[in-house]
Amino acid sequence: MLSRYRLVILNEESFEEQLYFRLTRLNVIIITTFLVTLLFSLTIAFVAYTPVKEFIPGYASTKMKKQANENADRLDDLLIAYEQSQQQIRYLQQIITGKIPEDPIPDNNRLNDSLPRVQREIPSRNAEDSLLRKLVEQEDKYALTATTNKVDFVLFPPAKGNISQRFDPAIKHYAVDIVLNENDPIKAAADGTVIFAEWTADTGYVMIIKHPYGLLTSYKHNAALSKSQGESVKAGEVIATAGNTGELSTGYHLHFELWSDGYAMDPLNFIDFSLE
């Protein structure tokens, strides 16, 4: 191992000695081991501290795993929001066409798509009475402002006039029709947000407002709308003018619907439409 050897580099043509190294077998082993160790260490450092490691099959950094989990959660939220928006669109389409929605309007504040839905029947008179007790806890339920501190919610008459057709689920008429003059003001029944304000072929200019307590009000056959989707409205604020629009209209009137958690209610139980 310690015997000396000379490694000589010669000129091929003149055989002149150009360079030589004195070596032993031990030196060769030490130098080779050092070079291999250095190369291995540099390779490990290069892989561990550069993005190259992400391309190694089966390897994923903590940062990538966290990002992947965040992306998965974000995708779940987007899917839930998409499904809720689709449900809301179907819900509005059913209300516009005068049908009882199959599902209650989705609540965007609760991600409850994973919960099983419970099929409910059309509410009876008792359910209407229960809603009445919840909405109007005062002696004069038709007053705009409360005279006592017991009032939680009051519905304002959107228009006043003679009732040409009453609420009748038997013929799928889930509204009251109020006879009006052309361009009479139509007012919001309560504070809320406009969630639909468009033209439809059957019912002309339609506006749907979402209120607290899971209530929706729908105003159809208008001549014009003064509010747009997404705007907030106050009780008694003018939102449209009376008209005779849509193929299903039979004269100047307001087709007014009241919905509670996806179920049609008789507006006459909660609102006084009389002129006096």
User: Whole-angstrom Cα distance, residue 268 to residue 211?
Assistant: 18
CA torsion, ordered 169, 173, 175, 181, to nearest 10 deg? -150
Helix, strand, or coil here: 44?
A: helix
84 near 113, Cβ under 8 Å?
yes
pLDDT of residue 85: 80
- Please choose, from the candidates 221, 146, 154, 161, the residue with its C-alpha nearest in 3D space to the C-alpha of residue 190: 154
The residues, any chain, with a CB within 8 Å of residue 109's CB and separated by 6 or more, are none
Name the residue among 262, 263, 267 with its Cα closest to residue 219.
267
Burial bucket for residue 269 (CB in 10 Å: 0-12, 13-18, 19+): middle
Whole-structure pTM value: 0.54
- Compute the distance between CA of residue 78 and CA of residue 72 in angstroms, rounded to an integer: 10
* Rounded CA separation 109/5 (Å): 84
Both tokens assigned to 191: 């504070």
Q: In this structure, what token pair is assigned to residue 76?
A: 């779940």
CATH number for 125-269: choose from 2.60.34.30, 3.40.50.261, 2.70.70.10, 3.40.50.300.
2.70.70.10
Q: Which two tokens stand for residue 106?
A: 């989705």
Q: What is the mean pLDDT of each run of 10 residues along the chain (276 residues)?
A: 85 83 87 94 85 69 75 89 81 70 51 40 47 51 41 81 92 93 94 93 93 92 94 94 92 94 90 85
Q: How far apart are CA 1 and CA 76, in angstroms?
A: 69
Q: Which amino acid, residue 48?
A: A
Check residue 118 and give its pLDDT. Answer: 37
Domain ranges of the chain: 4-55, 76-113, 125-269
